[in-house]
Amino acid sequence: MTDQPDVELRLPAENAYVSVLRMTTAGLAARLDFTLDDIEDLRMAVGEACALVLDGADPDGQLSVGFDLGEGSMRVTVSADSASGGGPDTDTFAWQVLTALAHDLEAADRGSRRSISFSSSTSVGMPS
């Protein structure tokens, strides 16, 4: 993986823009041949990650999402400028949902930004 994501979006740190990120996520996952169920799980995971990083975000800050694309897989990093400092709260229902939907989950406090990274892959060809 490089330092630069394959696709990156930067938007105002407001909940109103989460739907844009969910739609972008779905489009990228469809290009990677994710199943409809996998796409919906990934959209939900991005929504939950956004909820976690936007809690306590600087209202004048940025919400960023980076997508590292692989063959049938995607690594997503969601981050926002933090008004209060500290990493995302991992003792929430949103975190529990995220752990059920994603793999290799990481929450971090990167100075004035809080971030969440996770991986997802298509279930096509995987044993049920």
Tell me the three-class secondary structure of 35-84, residue by residue: CHHHHHHHHHHHHHHHHHHHCCECCCCEEEEEEEEECCEEEEEEEEEECC
Q: In sequence order, which residues have a C-beta less than 8 Å from that of residue 43 and are 6 or more positions away?
A: 22, 25, 26, 29
Reported CATH class of domain 7-121: alpha beta
pLDDT for 110: 79
30 Rama class: left (phi>0) / alpha (psi -120 to 50) / beta: alpha
Q: Where are the domains of the chain?
A: 7-121
User: In the predicted model, what is the mean pLDDT of residues 65-92?
Assistant: 90
Alpha-carbon distance of 46 to 40, in angstroms, equals 10
pLDDT for 35: 95
pLDDT for 111: 79
pTM of the model: 0.89
Write out pLDDT tens, residues 17-37: 999 999 999 999 999 999 999
pLDDT for 125: 55
The yes-or-no verdict on residue 124 having pLDDT over 60 is yes
User: What are the φ and ψ backbone dihedral angles of 17, each rounded to 5 degrees?
Assistant: -90, -5
Tokens of 107: 């929450």
The overall average pLDDT reported for the chain is 90
Helix (H, G, I), strand (E, B), or coil: what is residue 113? Answer: strand
Tokens of 13: 């740190």
Q: Pick from 84, 63, 59, 69: which is nearest to 2 by CA?
A: 69
Write out pLDDT tens, residues 42-63: 999 999 999 999 998 998 999 9
pLDDT for 2: 52
The yes-or-no verdict on residue 84 having pLDDT over 80 is no
pLDDT band at 128 (very low <50, low <70, confident <90, very high): very low
pLDDT for 1: 45
Q: Do 81 and 13 meet the contact criterion of CB atoms below 8 Å apart?
A: yes
